Amino acid sequence: MKDTIQHKEAEARMLPGSITAQGFLGEDSRRVAEIVEADEGEFRRLGLVFEIVAAELERLRDLGERGLGEPVTVDGTWLVQTGDARGKLACPYEDGIYHKNSVWLKRVDSGEALVYTDLSIHLLREHHFLQGRGSGFRLEPAALKRVLGL
Ligand SMILES: [Zn+2]
């Protein structure tokens, strides 16, 4: 469980124009500590484990990177396309710097897709932060479950 003070310090860096132009909170008006608590509850309810989800997102990213920017079919289940925007992003919790890549992951059967970055994986694994509602990189727990098939 991460402490509230740490979330409060990171919160300012999540606003638009600090680390990224659009920020990490979307139109979500909740405090970061509340977003994290709600998503931890959703993970428990859905039987998801942060470390396992992070490892699966990384595995699919690594396989997708073999396409060098072209979409790759993985395990007959997903289409994965990776892009590299060049440049780096600091974690709002100030414990690391990540490549500004993006991974587009789409389930072949349902067509449902997720978009994520190395920083999203880190935020999920280390801080249990899936970004605010309305953020372009928000990872909704139920969508993670459906798309990853966990
Ligand atoms: Zn961090």
Structure tokens belonging to residue 138: 């928000």
What domain range includes position 57? 4-148
C-alpha 19, offset from chain centre: 16
pLDDT tens string 31-48: 999 999 999 999 999 999
Q: Which residues crowd ion ligand 1, with CB under 5 Å?
A: 91, 93, 95, 126
pLDDT tens string 76-116: 999 999 998 778 999 999 999 998 889 999 999 999 999 99
Domain count, the chain: 1
Q: pTM of this prediction?
A: 0.93
Instruction: Determine the distance separating the centroid of ligand 1 and the alpha carbon of 111, expressed in angstroms.
Output: 31
Q: Which residues of 3-27 are buried (b: 16+ CB within 10 A; e: fewer)?
A: eeeebeebbebbeeeebbeebbbbe
Instruction: Determine the distance separating the centroid of ligand 1 and the alpha carbon of 61, expressed in angstroms.
Output: 19
